[in-house]
Amino acid sequence: MNIHFSVIVALALTLSLMINGNIISSNIASAVLLNDNLLSSNNDFGENIDLWSLFRGDYQQGEKEEEGEDSEINLDEENNRSSNNDDAKKEFVFDYLPSPPQQQSEQQQLSELYTRQQNTADDKYVVVMFDRGYQNIFSTAKPILDKYGFKATIFIACDYIESGKGMNWDQVRQLYIDGHDIQSHGSEHTRLTEVQSYDQLDSIVSGGKECLEEQGFTPTVFQAPYNKGGDDPTIVDTISKYFDLAFTGHSELMFLNCDGWENFGYDKKNYYGTTDCKPFFSDGTPTPTNKFGIKEWSHDRVHYKINKDLKADPYGPEVSEALFDKFVQVVNDQRYFNKNGEINAIPIIGYHEIRSDGEISTTPELFDREMEYLYENEFKVITMEDLGYDQYQERFHIKNMHA
C-alpha cells in the first residue's frame, strides 16, 4: 500500500472522530484494516481506489477453507481456484449505500456511513454454537454466557459424554434447563465420508438422535462430524431421514435464502447456483448450501490460520488481538445485507473448547471479550431453535424476530 493512500485513510479515520461529536465504531475501521482484499495491491478497484469504494468493499469471495483440525482442503488448490478469472463475478448491490455525489467530501461520506450503520443496528443477529460436548462448555463457557444473558446451541457427540473429556448427562440436562439448545453431532465423532458401509453411516446419524432422545431431548438439527458430507447425496438423504436441518460446511455468513452468490455476489464456492434452500439440483446433485447444508464460521479454524500466519504464541496478545479483530469483522459484515428489518444473512459462530492450552482452543479471556462485544453492541444472540424453516418458500427465517 503506497504512502499516499495510507495518508488518505489515516486522515479520513482521524476526521471521523469529529463527526457530530461521535466516534465511529471500531467495526467501520475494521472494514479498512481487516479485509485483505481491500488493501492488497491487486484489489479490484485498481490503484486509484477512493474512500467510498473502500468502505463499500469487495466481499465477494467469502470465507476461504483453511487446512486444520476440521479440514482436508489443499490450500494451493484453493488459492488457484479463487484467483481464476470469473465471467460470472458480481459486485454487491448496496442500494442503501448510494454512490455519493461527485463533490461529496470524505467527511460527509463517513458521516453518512455512520448514520446508516446506526439505523441498521437492530438488524444484527448471531448464533453461538459449540460442538462435541467438552466439559469446559459447562464449567467455563456457560458462566460467561450467563454473565451476558446469552444462550448457545450445543451439538452433542454422544461418545464424548461421560467419557472423561466431555460433560456428563446431568450437565447437558442443566444446560437445557437453563435455556440452551441441545442438538445432535452423531453417535460418534467419525467423518461420514470415511465410513465403510451404509449401515455404519445410518447408525452414526440415527444413533445421534436416539441417544439424545433416551435422555429426554428432541433434537431436530444435525451437525455432520467435521462438517463433511454435504456433497454426497447418500449422506444428505440419510440425514434427511432423521433431522429437519443440518450443518455440512463453512462460510463466514449463512444466507437465510441460500442465495449468497446469485443475489448478493457473496462466496461463490458455497452459494453458486441457488436462490432457495432446496437440498438438490434438478439432476439430483446436492446444492452447495441448503437446509441440510447450513454453514458455520469456525473460530478454531481461523485460530489455526492465524497461528500459521503469525507464527506467534497461540494464546499470546498478538494472536488474540488478530482473532478478536476477525471476530468483529465477521459479526458486522451482515450489515451489508440486512436492512430495514429484512434479515438476509447471519453469522453462525462455532467453538469447540474454552481453555488456555492446546493450539486452537479459545481462551476464557478472549471468549468473554467477544461475548462482551456482542452485548455492548446490542447484537441479538439466538440459537438454532430460534431459526425456522419455511417449507413452501424453501428458506430460513428468524422466529419471533420482533418479540
19-56 tens-digit pLDDT: 333 333 333 333 333 343 333 333 332 333 233 233 33
Inter-residue contact 202 to 229 (CB < 8 Å): no
Inter-residue contact 349 to 129 (CB < 8 Å): yes
Instruction: Please give the Cα distance from 204 to 188 (Å, whole number).
Output: 6
Instruction: Please give the Cα distance from 62 to 82 (Å, whole number).
Output: 10
Residue 348 pairs in a beta bridge with: 127
Beta-carbon contacts of 66 under 8 Å, excluding residues fewer than 6 positions away, are 73, 75, 301, 302, 304, 305
The pLDDT, as a whole number, for residue 81 is 34
The pLDDT, as a whole number, for residue 400 is 84
Where is pLDDT greater, at 51 or 63? 63
Locate cell 451482515: which residue?
Answer: 334
pLDDT in tens, 135-183: 999 999 999 999 999 999 999 999 999 988 899 999 999 999 999 999 9
Instruction: Please give the Cα distance from 9 to 14 (Å, whole number).
Output: 9
Q: Are strands 245-250 and 153-156 parallel, antiparallel or unpaired?
A: unpaired
Residue 61 has a CB neighbour count (10 Å cut-off) of 16
Q: Which of 83-97, 116-130, 360-374 has the lowest mean pLDDT?
A: 83-97
**Residue range 363-390: average pLDDT?**
97
The pLDDT, as a whole number, for residue 381 is 97
Instruction: Please give the Cα distance from 175 to 274 (Å, whole number).
Output: 36
Locate cell 476526521: which residue?
Answer: 15
Inter-residue contact 82 to 91 (CB < 8 Å): no
Task: Please determine, for residue 262, whether its predicted confidence score (pLDDT) is greater than 90.
Answer: yes
Residue 28 has a CB neighbour count (10 Å cut-off) of 17
Locate cell 465403510: which residue?
Answer: 196
**Residue range 56-71: average pLDDT?**
40
Measuring CA to CA, which residue among 124, 141, 132, 152 is closest to residue 383?
A: 152
**Residue range 267-288: average pLDDT?**
97
CA distances from 373 to 126, 132, 205, 298, 300 (A): 12, 25, 36, 18, 19
Q: Please state, for a pLDDT cut of 90, what percent of the chain lies above it.
A: 66
Q: What is the mean pLDDT of the chain?
A: 79
Instruction: Please give the Cα distance from 349 to 371 (Å, whole number).
Output: 11
Confidence of residue 193 (pLDDT cuts 50, 70, 90): very high
pLDDT in tens, 204-258: 999 999 999 999 999 999 999 999 999 999 999 999 999 999 999 999 999 999 9
**Residue range 2-15: average pLDDT?**
47
The pLDDT, as a whole number, for residue 107 is 53
The pLDDT, as a whole number, for residue 401 is 76
Instruction: Please give the Cα distance from 368 to 374 (Å, whole number).
Output: 10
The pLDDT, as a whole number, for residue 35 is 41
The pLDDT, as a whole number, for residue 119 is 42
The pLDDT, as a whole number, for residue 316 is 93
Instruction: Please give the Cα distance from 60 to 76 (Å, whole number).
Output: 20
